[in-house]
Amino acid sequence: MNAVTAIDTGGGHAPAPDALCAIATATQVEIAALGDPDAAFAAEWDALARHVAEPDAFAERWFAEASRHLAPPDMRLLRVRRGGQMIGLMPIVPATRYGRIPLRHVENWAHYHRFLGAPLLRQGHEVAAWTAILSALDATRDAGALLHVSGLVEHGPVHRALVDAAQALGRPCDTVHRIERAMLATDLSPDAYYAATVRKKKRKELGRLRSRLLEQGVVETRRLTPGDSLPDWIDAFLALERAGWKGAAGSALACTPETRAFFRDVVTGAHRAGKLDMIRIDLDGAAIAMLVNLLAPPGAFSFKTAFDERLSRFSPGVLLQIDNLQLLARGDIAWMDSCAVENHPMINSLWGERRAIVRVSVPLAGARRRALFTAARALEQGAAALRALRASRPVPTVESDA
């Protein structure tokens, strides 16, 4: 494990000599580089994930280790212990701009392929962990004016605990952005959920598309089994995604060495941890649609999907999502986060529930920090009000002489 270091927000100051901040007699926070977790720290991390307040595959060790391919050099890890037990873990990075505002602060680190940003917090210790994190950043010279946290499940145990911790410290926890994305949450069987959620007319149309696809050759839906070659499935997914519009745009995972290695390590790590589910539709033995799910019972996350765009007239990606409903039959999965953009037309038509994801900001201690936070929020709210005003104005019409 790398030596513990002080957080450095890029302000050019020398690191503080002692990065171990005593928050209370029994609670300590370490601010350290990720490095290669030694056996003891890896065991602590995995134990924390087993007793986490909120299931989050993106905060587990195997995902974090894979994410090192994408990590900036100044990323640090906050490790919170209480009474010798790990109760919190969160990657952070320094930032010099808050939106368009030049303002030094600290953010949780959540890259483009990480669809939640919450820390891992031990169940029953959520408020204590957040209090320790805020107090540690308060005491860190270069932490800037505020803590900005993205990717929190609104009103989930982690979000609620942050609000409570901030309130106890006499400071606000402002929601500065909010989206809703599709979610599957039900105690129904797969078939019953499909019938209850998708309109009858749409179900008939999708049935016709599946029949037309069956006319093209041998069609088979398969889930990854212990007898399958995981590297072959990974290669098939990367090739399928790169063959479509993402490849043409240069945004497919296979387009850069870093994202390709990240994806391979995520899938391999999830498989090793027993947290991987992959499903595909094959036509004459070749994959035409694939989906990667990351499991965090009782939940799951629809991580990545790809389909053969040459066969888009049969909607193989939609058909795969219907087949994927069988994941509910496992018994240990009660919900799935789509990880999709807000108002995604395809998944919104198949999944009936919604999950709100928020970004929040909390000022750090000190009069100057609070003044900077207040000014930044005023500018942020003013800009939002101006955008809303512009959006509400009617579009001018041009009269025709006809």
pLDDT in tens, 227-271: 999 999 999 999 999 999 999 999 999 999 999 999 999 999 999
Strand partners, 307: 289
pTM across the whole model: 0.89
Q: What domains can be seen in the chain, in order of their start residue? A: 20-180+356-390 (3.40.630.30), 187-229+266-333 (3.40.630)
When pLDDT is averaged across residues 190-212 and rounded to a whole number, the result is 97
Least Cα distance to 125 among 43, 27, 55, 223 occurs for 27
The residue type of 346 is M
Cβ-based neighbours of 185, under 8 Å, separated by 6 or more? 334, 335, 336, 353
Cβ neighbours, 10 Å, residue 112: 8
pLDDT digits (tens, 9 = 90+) for 3-34: 443 333 233 333 332 333 443 447 899 988 87
pLDDT of residue 67: 96
Cβ 217 vs Cβ 210: under 8 Å: no
Task: Please state, rounded to an integer, the average pLDDT across all residues of the chain.
Answer: 91
Helix%, strand%, coil% for the chain, nearest 5:
40, 30, 30
241 and 254 Cβ atoms separated by less than 8 Å: yes
Whether omega for the bond prior to residue 298 falls within 30 degrees of 0, making it cis, is yes
In this predicted model, what pLDDT tens digit does every residue of 80-104 receive, in sequence order?
Answer: 999 889 999 999 999 999 999 999 9
The CA-atom distances, in angstroms, between 161 and each of 83, 127, 286 are 20, 5, 47
For residue 402, pLDDT over 70 is answered with: no
Instruction: Give bridge partners of residue 105 from the DSSP assignment.
Output: 95
**273 pLDDT above the threshold of 70:** yes
Report yes or no: 7 and 19 within 8 Å, Cβ to Cβ: yes
- Cα distances from 171 to residues 24, 363, 364, 379, in angstroms, run 19, 7, 8, 19
pLDDT, mean of residues 340-349: 96
